[in-house]
Amino acid sequence: MKQTFNGRSLIVSALVAFLWLPAASGQKLDVDKIKGMKARSIGPAGMSGRVTAIDAVVSNPDIIYIGTASGGVWKSESGGISWDPIFDKEKLINIGALAITQSNPGVIWVGTGEGNPRNSLNLGGGIYKSLDGGHSWEMMGLEDTRNIHRIIVDPRDENTVYVGAIGNPWWEHPERGVYKTSDGGKTWEKVLFVDEKTGAADLVMDPQNPNKLMAAMWEHRRWPWFFKSGGPGSGLYVTLDGGKTWEERTAEDGLPEGELGRMGLAISPSNPKIVYALVEAEKNALYRSDDGGLKWKKVSDGNDIGNRPF
């Protein structure tokens, strides 16, 4: 269960404890030691909730961006030593995805609405784009997707961007799936849709063949008293033509039989034929493909593999 603490109460409690210790030990309190005490932010990890997205500039890894579940976007130019908030002026600060255009690192994409459908889920309302490294932002649409969990920029063409919309878990709606823009976000096309219960839980691109992507689709639904993960809509899909057509991988290809839940995907940057999938099923397990996602084999199903899907 997620617990919420009131910051003011926490500070008061800390001061009470601080004042009580000298009295209990018979020591006289040195008031000068607490005169300079002020509440301060110590960075996104301490004050802005869950970190939901992270990306770094490959050509200058000291520049890092992170997105947080309820605290906006933060930027570091010191390799993570210090951070500055760069999204606080926008209407929505609930972040689900973030991607740097590596061919032009000043161009940043941010998807709002986190992809962790817990009771304290933070909803979003669209995707933003910055052309100046986060100094200013422009809303680029997809408002009705509500929760965006993945963004991938084509390394050959910065105007081609793919978005994995996991959707709002509180109700069924058609604005889920995988979207694509070929004009820098002016227009969007939904290139993969399963049904109104199923959203894109993960999305990866072959680094050597940007026309090849894999999408993990996830059927799920949340109620205040219950959460349902998995169903007939869940599955793993592969496209070889930039999203024009998709083919589902099934138990015949080595994935588990029966209804699937959430899947997490990872592709090797040095050898994209190697792909891993963490699969929620009747027995959670880690699967590996050595042919780029066509055939799969289970490599581990220990008790430490997976738990709840968020």
| pLDDT of res. 44 | 52
More confident call, 25 vs 294: 294
- The residue count of the chain comes to 310
Phi, psi (degrees; rounded to nearest 5) at 69: -60, -35
Backbone angles phi, psi at 19, to 5 degrees: -75, -30
Q: Is the pLDDT of residue 63 over 90?
A: yes
More confident residue, 217 or 70: 217
**Residue-wise pLDDT tens digits, 222-236:** 999 999 999 999 999
Where are the alpha helices (H) located in the chain, listed in sequence order? 7-25, 32-35, 44-47
pLDDT of 113 > 70? The answer is yes
65-96 residue pLDDT tens: 999 999 999 999 999 999 999 999 999 999 99
Q: What is the pLDDT of residues 160-174, one digit of tens each?
A: 999 999 999 999 999
Task: Give CA–CA dist 154/126, Å, rounded.
Answer: 20
State both tokens at 68: 């947080």
Q: Which two tokens stand for residue 121?
A: 């889920």
pTM of the model: 0.84
Domain architecture of the chain: domains with CATH = 1-39 (no CATH), 46-300 (2.130.10.10)
- Of 130, 202, 134, the C-alpha closest to 165 is 202
